[in-house]
Amino acid sequence: MASTAVNRDFLFRRLHTLSGVIPVGLFLIEHLFTNATVTLGPGFYNEAVNTIQHIPFLHVVEFVFIFVPLTYHGVFGLYVAYTAGYNNRQFSWFRNQLFVWQRITGVLTFIFIVYHLWTTRFSGHEPNFAFVHNLVSNNFNFWFLIIGVVAATFHFSNGLWSFMVHWGITVGPRAQRISAIVMLTLFVILAGVGVDSVFTFRDTIV
């Protein structure tokens, strides 16, 4: 029985890390760069969103490939954050700090996603530039989005480092150091893209 429980926990954790990369992580990247089209002008953003809205069986695609994996990753992630402890014997002090922030940003990202979906996807409003502009004109929504974008991009980038370690992609200290630099760079790029989009939504006047 104990062996079965251990195997089940191992499987759940593997599915958790995998879902954070595919499809949740890929959706995050797609979402960030779709929003980034606003930097080219409101018309480009409206066109990008309109293209997505006309994907065949969009609701089915969203439910199966986004909402289900996202819910699993978020709910199980809360469990992981609640039961997690320091890895003092396995990683360095710096790596432990990233481990802690991974859990903190996981909780922040979960709260952010729930609120973000409630105020956008399930708001009943048409997803266009004018709607998002009005949304981020509210100071609370604006700063909540900034914090949420930074938390989500850090959680994804740092989680991708952990994913590559646990799935045996980066083996050995040198490979893990290099991947840490790559993931830190990825975090800066993705966070920059997301934050720039939020500022553009707020500051662009039509």
Q: Is the pLDDT of residue 61 over 60?
A: yes
> How far, CA to CA in Å, does 71 sit from each of 62, 108, 110, 197?
12, 14, 9, 25
CA distance 87 to 97: 10
CA distance 103 to 77: 8
Architecture of the domain delimited by 12-203: Up-down Bundle (1.20)
Which residues make Cβ contacts (< 8 Å) with residue 32, sequence separation at least 6? Answer: 149, 153, 190, 193, 194, 197
Q: Which residue has the tokens 């991009």?
A: 153
Give CA 11 to chain center in angstroms.
Answer: 22
- What is the per-residue pLDDT across 169-189, written as a single tens digit (0 to 9) for each? 998 889 999 999 999 999 999
- What is the per-residue pLDDT across 19-30, written as a single tens digit (0 to 9) for each? 999 999 999 999
SS3 91: coil
pLDDT of residue 86: 53
- What is the per-residue pLDDT across 62-94, written as a single tens digit (0 to 9) for each? 999 999 999 999 999 888 888 866 554 556 777
- Tokens at 97, concatenated: 């700090």
- What is the per-residue pLDDT across 103-159, written as a single tens digit (0 to 9) for each? 999 999 999 999 999 999 888 888 899 999 999 999 999 999 999 999 999 999 999
Across 45-67, average pLDDT: 94
CA distance 70 to 24: 6
pTM of the predicted model over 0.75: yes
- Residue 57's φ and ψ, nearest 5 degrees, are 55, 45
Q: Is the pLDDT of residue 47 over 90?
A: yes
Angle at 156 between CA 154 and CA 161, to 5 degrees: 95
